[in-house]
Amino acid sequence: MVPVPVADGARDALALPDLAAIRAARERIAGFVHRTPVLTCASLDAETAARLCFKCENLQKVGAFKARGAVNAVFSLSDDAARHGVVTHSSGNHGAALAYAASRRGIAAWVVMPENAAKTKQENVRRLGATIRLCASNVAAREAACADVLRETGAVLIHPFDDARVIAGQGTAALELLEDVPDLDVVIAPLGGGGLLSGTAIAAKSLRPGIRVYGAEPANADDAARSFRSGRLEPLPATTTIADGLRTTLSVRTLAAIRAHVDAIGLAREASIVRAMRMTWERMKIVIEPSAAVPLACLLDGTLDVRGQHVGIIVSGGNVDLDRLPWQL
Task: Determine if 278 is a binding residue for its own copies (CB under 8 A).
Answer: yes
Task: Determine if 106 is a binding residue for its own copies (CB under 8 A).
Answer: no
The residue from 14, 39, 157, 264 that contacts its own copies (CB under 8 A) is 39
Catalytic residue among 76, 90, 91, 198: 91
Nearer to its own copies by C-beta: 14 or 286? Answer: 286
Nearer to its own copies by C-beta: 64 or 168? Answer: 64
The residue from 1, 49, 144, 325 that contacts its own copies (CB under 8 A) is 325
The answer to whether residue 66 is catalytic is: yes
Order of strands, sheet of 86-89, starting from the edge strand that comes earlier in the sequence: 131-135, 109-114, 86-89, 156-157
Site size with its own copies, rule: CB under 8 A: 24
Amino acid residing at 212: R
The CB density around residue 281, as the number of other CB atoms within 10 Å, is 17
Helix (H, G, I), strand (E, B) or coil at 240: coil
The residue from 19, 287, 305, 310 that contacts its own copies (CB under 8 A) is 287
Task: Determine if 37 is a binding residue for its own copies (CB under 8 A).
Answer: yes
The answer to whether residue 91 is catalytic is: yes
Task: Determine if 322 is a binding residue for its own copies (CB under 8 A).
Answer: yes
d(CA 248, CA 235): 9
The CB density around residue 306, as the number of other CB atoms within 10 Å, is 22
Q: Which residue stretch of 66-74, 228-236, 259-267, 314-322 sits at the interface with its own copies (rule: CB under 8 A)?
A: 314-322
DSSP state of 213: E
d(CA 40, CA 33): 22
Amino acid residing at 219: A
Task: Determine if 156 is a binding residue for its own copies (CB under 8 A).
Answer: no
The residue from 47, 281, 305, 310 that contacts its own copies (CB under 8 A) is 281
Nearer to its own copies by C-beta: 186 or 277? Answer: 277
What are the phi and psi torsion angles at 129 (to 5°)?
Answer: 100, 5
Task: Determine if 92 is a binding residue for its own copies (CB under 8 A).
Answer: no
CA within 13 Å, CB half, 302: 0
Nearer to its own copies by C-beta: 240 or 328? Answer: 328
Q: Measured from the CB of residue 139, what is the shortest distance to its own copies in angstroms?
A: 30
Q: Measured from the CB of residue 296, what is the shortest distance to its own copies in angstroms?
A: 16
Asked if 124 and 113 touch (Cβ cutoff 8 Å), the reply is no
Task: Determine if 58 is a binding residue for its own copies (CB under 8 A).
Answer: yes
The residue from 59, 70, 219, 243 that contacts its own copies (CB under 8 A) is 59
* Gap between the terminal Cα atoms of the chain: 44
Amino acid residing at 123: E
Task: Determine if 63 is a binding residue for its own copies (CB under 8 A).
Answer: yes
The CB density around residue 184, as the number of other CB atoms within 10 Å, is 20
What are the beta bridge partners of residue 317? Answer: 64
What are the phi and psi torsion angles at 9 (to 5°)?
Answer: 115, 105
Just list the catalytic residues.
Answer: 66, 91
Residues in the site for its own copies, rule: CB under 8 A?
Answer: 34, 37, 39-40, 42, 58-59, 61, 63, 278, 281-282, 284-288, 318-319, 322-323, 325, 327-328
